[in-house]
Amino acid sequence: MTKKGWLALGAAATVIPLLVSLAAVVALTGAIAADQDDQDQQAAYATGTQAAPASVKGIGQVMLSAYTDAALRITELRPKCTGMRWSVLAGIGKVESNHASGHRVAGNGAITPRIIGARLDGTGAGGNTTSFTDTDRGKWDGDTAYDRAVGPMQFLPSTWNGPTGQDGNGDGIADPHNAFDAALGAAVYLCGTGRSKLSGQRRKSFGG
């Protein structure tokens, strides 16, 4: 689904901070697997029965590290959450920013230039017809009137500034424009705060 489609999904439910559903993410895991020569081996990676690969076609090394690190660390942050896989996070990154394609991703995860989505002012830009007024005073999206989805995982600032925001690279700052922070934040958000079992789950929307 195109980004326009994901923005339309976000407009339909104002509580959705990431503009994608887990059902589509799971489907995209198959697309990632198709990029590998050994599809049987990749299927094992996707189901968590084998460690993540050293490289994946179409995913930069830092972004891949961000996905795999987040999938491993989530057990510390959300011990009641099971079944998190690096490939699920990679599926989100594929849909939302094509793994930060066209942007420089530094070794510490910093992404330049920043990835900032369309202004969510309800005028139809990017397929959005519901307005999301500013919640971060422009800190993350540079817009003091309306919010915009930000970073490689396209968080809304209002969601990132809550418990979802994470410091994935240990620099003391939770930054949605950082690959490690954003990937860990996505994992935390998917798991929620209660008991969650992601393996075998057919559908879950990214609601607030």
DSSP assignment string, 135-200: SSTTTTTS-SSB---BTTTTB-HHHIIIII---SSSSS---TTBHHHHHHHHHHHHH-SS-EE-TT
User: What does each of the 208 residues of the chain score in pLDDT, given as a tens digit?
Assistant: 233 333 333 333 333 344 444 444 444 444 444 444 334 444 444 444 446 788 899 999 999 999 999 999 999 999 999 889 999 999 999 999 999 999 999 999 999 999 999 999 999 877 888 899 999 999 999 999 999 999 999 999 999 999 899 999 999 999 999 999 999 999 999 998 666 667 654 333 333 3
Distance CA(59)–CA(77), nearest Å, equals 25
- Strand-strand pairing, 104-105 and 111-112: antiparallel
Distance CA(37)–CA(7), nearest Å, equals 33
Is 0.85 topped by the overall pTM? no
Please, what is the Cα angle at 72 between 99 and 1, to 5 degrees? Answer: 30
